[in-house]
Structure 1
């Protein structure tokens, strides 16, 4: 996998943006409490991510999933619906900043996931390439990890069938856990966004809301929407 220049061409984004114009998708977003600015933000976030994803270069060439816009749309929208729209707006600000800096956060995410799925290759190829993580950021990410790990354990205990369809509880060679996937994803974000996520996860725990199970439920619902 190579990083590419991180600059998002518009053409790739149109493929994803079209899904957000499907009436059933707009109705779902409205039922979830999205206002017009929320809909615009989540549409731009997922479209940016798709463009970033399109530019990731695998070690063995382009992966089949990079041409599966529908699945990408379903899983990314489902994940964001499991959190507040305030989080989506923060992510959008961060993605725009990373793009302007010539960074590809999706490529960085896959490189960071390699740290737990293929540690030897990560140490050889990527540990010296990724931006260093400051002690403050490391502490914030550890707090996010603690909260996510609790959700993963609870999902496996209370809803084993649903959890079996989600990402693994523990990372294995060539298979990343839900916790490590999310940590790799948010690592490039601003501290403001990481701290917001940490606090949101703590609020969810107090309210007995599990974003891992919610994301799976949303993915199933989106997959059944007419026109998707």
Structure 2
């Protein structure tokens, strides 16, 4: 399958899962915003090697066969930080995360957070419009660290291992900036520099 078609199929499957997520306070407005969802997800995949993307596609297909909702699981894992009391009431319903997966997810997250620091320094105006790096935003926004780590928890050990291998093969490539570049282009900017200037 061609890469762009693979990306599109993944996002369409994720969107269907996203539609089935029931938040504590009901359906969220972002669940009706296909365009933003598409931009965010395709931007994220911009920093992925194709073999990682193919493995993640296999994860989604397997999850569908098992009637698991990876998007729901991601948001549920996030609640360990954002709503720890409620998280305790649902923890037993979630797949247990192996120590191997935890370690790999933490490794990837730590690397991404270093890239995020570089983005904060180079493009503070763009980053101001995004998630906080750590903790919880004043409006309850989930941090970059928590969001990424909890998404990684839903990937298979195979996908995580391939992800780490791809990073180690090209350690100088800042995948966080690659995602940002794709995102600002989707919103009509020619470059991160142009977006940074316009958002000042």
Q: TM-score, normalised by structure 2?
A: 0.85
- Per the TM alignment, residue 116 of structure 1 is displaced from its structure 2 partner at its CA by 1.7
2:26 aligned with 1:61, yes or no? Answer: yes
From 31, 40, 58, the equivalent of 1:93 is 58
- Per the TM alignment, residue 217 of structure 1 is displaced from its structure 2 partner at its CA by 1.9
- How far apart in 2 are the matches of 1:203 and 1:179? 23
- How far apart in 2 are the matches of 1:188 and 1:195? 13
- Per the TM alignment, residue 175 of structure 1 is displaced from its structure 2 partner at its CA by 2.0
- How far apart in 2 are the matches of 1:154 and 1:122? 32
Structure 1 residue runs of 4 or more that deviate by more than 6 Å after TM superposition: none
2:197 is matched with none
2:143 aligned with 1:177, yes or no? Answer: yes
Aligned-CA RMSD value: 1.8
Tell me the matched-pair count. Answer: 187
Q: Which runs of 5+ in 1 are unaligned?
A: 1-35
Provide Cα deviations, 1:68-116, integer angstroms capped at 9, x if missing partner.
Answer: 1111111111111122222211111110001110100000000111112
1:195 is matched with 161
- How far apart in 2 are the matches of 1:197 and 1:179? 17
- How far apart in 2 are the matches of 1:218 and 1:39? 14
Q: TM-score, normalised by structure 1?
A: 0.75
1:47 is matched with 12
Q: Which runs of 5+ in 2 are unaligned?
A: 190-200
